[in-house]
Chains A and B, each alone.
Chain A
Amino acid sequence: MAAIYSLYIINKSGGLIFYKDYGSAGRMDTNDSLRVASLWHSMHAISQQLSPTVGCLGIELLEADTFDLHCFQSLTGTKLFVVCEPGTQHMEGLLKVIYELYTDYVLKNPFYEMEMPIRCELFDINLSQAIQKDRVALLGR
């Protein structure tokens, strides 16, 4: 059971700083994942322009035929998004947990340079645990 297909983190200028695949068919290569991430950044910005009322913060959930995409934007403009099976629940909660891990293990890492690709071992370990836990929670329902 693969509830989550992949996770992307993009910086405030649309550059991909983290990408992890959890078993989607036909893996995307690095160039494609970079392109998809910056395309998402632009679509997110355009969706705010088209809002009928004020205060639009961009796309939160995109429902495609074969997957759901949940996006969370932090106050500083960093965007995290997960691609999961259609109808997967509690993804907003998972994104907030991942954001917490990002602040704890990436931003507090003295060797991490802002807006640069994430290469932090502790982040990777805790992230895989969070995703695992989420899967366990889904199985337990």
Chain B
Amino acid sequence: MQFFGGSDISPSPPAPTASGNNAHMIYVFNRNGVCLLYREWNRPLHTLNAQQDHKLMFGLLFSLKSLTAKMDPTSLDKGNLGVPQLPGQGCSFHSFRTNTYKLSFMETPSGMKIILITHPKTGDLRESLKYIYNLYVEYVVKNPIYTPGAPIRCDPSVYSSNQDPNATGDVVLKKF
């Protein structure tokens, strides 16, 4: 489990891994499985409606995590398969790849899950996910009118008074 720097770190964009926008979707879930943010840039195929899709994604991550915790070949005591685990407990995973996409996953110590779906040839995106998490801390958690657990709305007018109006999540995410 990675631990993140204090909130005094100002977000700075990570080195680009590839040129152009090769991201397909981003999902952000809180620890209860509520989808806080979903954006898609390039998704020709929709197999399910949005709500079902989010549920399926959360279920996939939850089950894959219990699978990796059980499979972990380096620990002796792995517990039983399917027992819910706290964030950071047990062996987790950071990405998987299929022939059409790559899913990068990060879970914060508070149980928030950030998922980025990109082109399968994309490199390691762990730094980018940390950067997105820093954006969340800076512009969502520190927003006084944000209710925890509510979907994130990137409204520039809300914090344009004391923050850079261009620093909304949407604008920054376009860099990926």
Contacts and interface: CB of A to CB of B under 8 A. Distances in A.
Interface stretch (A32-40, A98-106, A113-121, A126-134): A32-40
Q: Chain B's interface: helix, strand, loop or mixed, by majority?
A: mixed
B70 A36 contact: yes
Contacts, number: 125
B72 A66 contact: yes
Contact of B74 (A25, A36, A43, A54): A25
A42 to B, nearest CB: 7
Interface in A46-105: 46-67, 69, 83
B161 interface: no
B96 A59 contact: yes
Given A50-B56, A64-B91, A64-B92, A69 B71 contact: yes
Given A36-B67, A64-B68, A69-B71, A47 B60 contact: yes
A25 B73 contact: yes
A51 B101 contact: yes
B99 to A, nearest CB: 5
Interface stretch (B7-15, B45-53, B128-136, B145-153): B45-53
A58 B70 contact: no
B42 to A, nearest CB: 7
A66 to B, nearest CB: 5
Given A50-B56, A52-B25, A53-B100, A63 B94 contact: yes
A110 interface: no
How many of chain A's residues touch chain B, expressed as a range? 35 or more
Given A46-B59, A49-B47, A55 B100 contact: yes
B175 interface: no
Contact of A66 (B73, B76, B96, B101): B73
A65 B64 CA distance: 13
A39 B96 contact: no
Contact of B81 (A6, A35, A61): A35
Interface of A: 5-6, 24-26, 28, 32, 35-36, 39-40, 42-43, 46-67, 69, 83
Given A28-B71, A49-B47, 15 more contacts: A25-B75, A26-B75, A35-B70, A36-B67, A36-B71, A43-B60, A51-B45, A51-B100, A51-B101, A53-B100, A56-B98, A61-B97, A63-B93, A63-B96, A64-B94
